[in-house]
Structure formats: structure tokens, C-alpha cells
Structure 1
Amino acid sequence: MKLLLENKEPIADGVVLLTLRHPDGDPLPAWAPGAHVDLVLADGLVRQYSLCGDPSDTSAMKVAVLRELDGRGGSRHVHDVLAAGQLIEVGGPRNHFELVEAKRYLFIAGGIGITPILPMIARVEAAGHDWRLVYGGRTRSSMAFRDELERHGCAEIHPQDEHGLLDLESLLGRPEEGTAVYCCGPEPLLAAVEEHCAEWPDGTLHIERFAPKPDAAQGPRHEFEIELAQTGTVLRVPADRSVLEVVEQAGVSVLSSCQEGTCGTCETIVLGGEPDHRDSVLTAEEQECGDAMMICVSRSRSPRLVLDL
């Protein structure tokens, strides 16, 4: 869908907030906390951003974008090229960071990772649940939505230049039954939180990534076959090509975006065979189940996979 960029405003050092609406004023698709959308910024330049507005407001979608100095060009395009009044192709919304039911919630955010957590806080507070937010950033002025969050007694703001790194040991050193932990931010924070939650009950930790886990897509690569269940077509996937590339060359249309196993757009149902999961989206439990895979990066442990394509 093409949406109108109604407004683009700076909200912190290096962060702009985009407000998108339907050009004809039509309602936008429903979404839930944790959802993200794809912004098609230019030919071949597609990036995923978490929705940070109000899910009940179907008149607008909002995303906040950090200028990534060492990025691949998407955030620079948003900051330097996009302007109010432009039409932008938007895909989604999709959600691989859904809010689960729990007795209490611990939210841990690093930098721009606060964006998917904002609607979650609004949802759990409205429902009367106990919650706590620990929000870290480089400096106070770089932390988006800081003023809004500081009005909450359960939100703790920790600029690194004032307080140092987040004290994850005190936060996560003792497992708490009934607590759901949600974390989004840079990879070092995510990896540290995963390590500290290793002894927590299964299903406690929920993480959102917009970059692949280090070495997630690594591993031996060998040839295998895929069977497209809807037509019975059998295709060979060479060691140097992805499942996505092979099916697209065969004329099968598959939605895809990041092509690095982080956005979940190309998720495909597996009807037979054993996937070799190399994505950064599915949980360990979901990967073990083996009934879906991200065909942009994941491969096969069995000689043939049967896919619902």
C-alpha cells in the first residue's frame, strides 16, 4: 500500500518520527504491539521499522528511525531524502514480537529499541498489569520518547554517560516465575540479556532483532531438493543459492524483504523434511517444531523439503 508521509519531525538526537496516513483518509490495517512495517525507500532498498503509535488509531502509523552512521543506507535515506508529502510504499504490518499474557512484565530497551515497547507499555498499563521498564541509551538527549516515559513511575531512564551500562545482573540474576521479559536494542544488549536469562523458565524471554544474530546464517552448505506442494514441482537448491532465489527463478511469487533472516516476511510453511534454521526471527521452540522456515537464509537437513508453495 502507498501511504502519505504526513509529517517528519526530530524527536531526539539522530532520531526522526514519521507519521504515515492513507492519501484518501481510508483506515489503515489493524496491528498489535510489537508489529513492524516495511518501508520501500528506493529500488532495492527496503527496511523494517517497529510501529510505535497507538494500535487503536487506524488513521495513522508512526515509526521512529535512528540515523545509523555505519548502516547500509536505509536510515540515511529516511533522514536525508524523505520529505513530508511524499508517497511511500509500505508493506505489512507483521508481528514476530507479540505481547503474551503474563502476571508481570519486564521491558528492557536499548536506544531505538524502545519503539516496539512503547505500545506494549500502554497495553499492559491499561490492563492493570505490573510492569517495569529499564531504558538505556548513549546520552539523555539521544533517547527518543524520554519525556513521555519519565512521567511513568515504572520507567527507569539510564543514559550510559551518566550511569554506565545497564546492570543486567541485578535485573535478571534471579529468575521470576510469571514474568515476561521483552528486550529490543543493539546486538550486544540482546546477547547479554539472552545469557542472563538462560536459567529463566522457557518462554520467558522475547527478543526483537533487526540485524541477524552473529554467524546465524553460517554452517555447511550442501545441495538439496524442495517440493512445492501446491503444484508438485521439484526444484534443486544448489549449495551457493538460497531457497528463495530458486523458487523465484522458477516463477513462484514469494513475499520477501530483508533477505537476511530478520524480518519474517518470507516465512513459509514446511509440510515435510527437516529445515536447517539460520534465521534470527523464530524462537528456539519454534525452530525445533520445524513447521515453518525463513526461506531467504534457512536450508535443509534432509535430502528434500516439502514447502507449502
Structure 2
Amino acid sequence: MRFGSRGWIILLAAAVLAAMFLRLLIDRDPSTGDFSLTWPDAAWRGFRVTAAVTGALIGGALSLSGTLLQASLRNPLAAPSVLGVSSGAGLGVMLALYIAHVSGVADPPWIPPAMLGAVLAVVLVLVLGRRDGWPDPVSTILAGVIVATMAGAGMVLLQGLVPEGLRGRFLSWAMGTIPETLPASALPILAILLAVTVAWGFSAHGRLDALLLDHASATSIGGSPGSTRLICLIAAGILTAVTVAISGPLGFVGLVAPHVARLLVGSRHLLLVPAAVLAGAVLVVGADVLRQVIDLGNGRLPVGVLTTLAGGPFFLWLLRRGGRHASM
């Protein structure tokens, strides 16, 4: 491990801790709109700790998902949305709200239908994107676009069938947020999934590096590129499904953070996997901290809006710089 790479990983880890600590301290006076840095009392401490930990886990999971997708699809612009996962989760939530409205249920659960919709979207993309029994990079991307478009059309249709109050709740979730309260099992599930995927990424770093080569070269150095690619797609899909179910879609995190990590530590997955997880955590927790500071007079900006505002220009920069900086 190069000293420079080790230094960047340590710096990213320190930045994650600093951002989480700021999220714990930051406070806003609802009457004046002024914010300050104060140690929270017991009544608020749990909410802020939950938000800080949730943001770090969600950012790390989305970034790792993007890293796996970019490797498996050999496309530097691939991101979790390429699988239609966000749209599938949104359709699951919207369908649950509609069924609850028809059956008279006042407060339906959100996370299970979002996860179900996201997982079904991943399965459909994998089925449509197969070629010779394995996921094909180009076919998988096209299948993801088709699934996302169809799910988006379904959401638009269902929005007109639910009451305005439920529609407003859905739109708030769909813009992306870091919740301060969650079901007791949500964070442990996300943490375990992230830890298992990181551990697999370390153990399979050589096979992940081989995916960046052409199929013949990857096969010649050992292993099965097709099976590794399939594992990457499934792992990325499950991680994204859980994060979207919890926070809604957070745009560009899965695209920007892996590229930031790649610019810092290179393309070897032994270094890239931890760096990408940390970079994603910094991005999301930092956006949540910034959200507490910015007050436009009509409420705080959703975290998803901030990540999109930050990621959009970076995406254009990647396109403009072309292969030299967006290469894998």
C-alpha cells in the first residue's frame, strides 16, 4: 500500500468522524433561524446520533454500490440508478400508499414495500440484461433504463390516485432525506449488509480488478468474470434497495464518491473499496450538515437536492475531462 493512498484513507476517515461530530453538535433555533454548535441534551442526542450514523452508512453503501457497478459494467458513469432501483423503490412505496388508501389504513409502512420494489427491479434488470447466461454490460444498462422508465410512469399514474396528504409525504421522501428516527432493525440491517459487502470486496479485490479488463484477459488470469459481475450487481442492488427505502433517492452519490476515491487512491479495489465507502459517508453526512445551516425561509433543503447540486457539476466535469480522469 502506497503511503499516499494510506494517507488519503486516513484523511477520509478523519473527515467522516468530523462530519458526524458536526452533525451531532449543530442546532438551529426555530424562532430565529440562527444555528449554533452546542452539545445536545439527552432528549435530542439520540435523534442526532441516529441521523449522523444513518448518513454515514447510507453514503458508504451508495458509494460502494456505485464502485461495484462501475467495475461490473466497465462503465465509469454507471451509478445505482442504472439498475432502476430508485424508481422501483418509489413505485413500491406509491403502490403501498394506494393500497393503504383503498383499504383504509392510515399509516402504512414504507420500508418493506420500498425494498420489495427495489429488489424486483434488480431481478427484472438481471433477467433482461442476461446474455449467454451472464449479465452483459450494455444489455444491463439498457434494461435498467427501461425498468426505470416503466417504474417512473407507474409512479406518475399512482400519484393521481392517492389523497394529497399521502402524495405530499411521498414527494418529501422522493427528494431524499436523512431520517432522525428509524425502525429498530433498519440500521443494524444496513450496517451488516455494508460490512459483509466490504469484506467480500477485500477478499475479491483481484477479481474486481480483472473485471476492468476485456473478457478474454479477465478469464485468462483465473476466476469467472461472469459470476463476479453477477455478485457485484446483486450486492449493489440490495445495498441500494435498503438505502433508498430508508432515505429516498440521493442523486449522484453513487457516481461522484467512487470517482473521488479513485482520483485519490487509484483503481486497485484493495484501496478503492474502503476509500469509496469513506468518501460516500463524507458526502452524505456533509450534505446533511449543510442542510442544517441553509435556510431559504420555506424550510430546509432536502439532502437529495444538495447531493444533486454537488454531483451534477462533477458529472459534467467527468464528461468534459473524458477518459483521462473518468477512466477506470
* TM-score, with length taken from structure 1: 0.25
Higher relative contact order (Cα pairs below 8 Å, separated by 6+ residues): 2
Q: Normalized per residue, which structure has more helix?
A: 2
Q: Normalized per residue, which structure has more strand?
A: 1
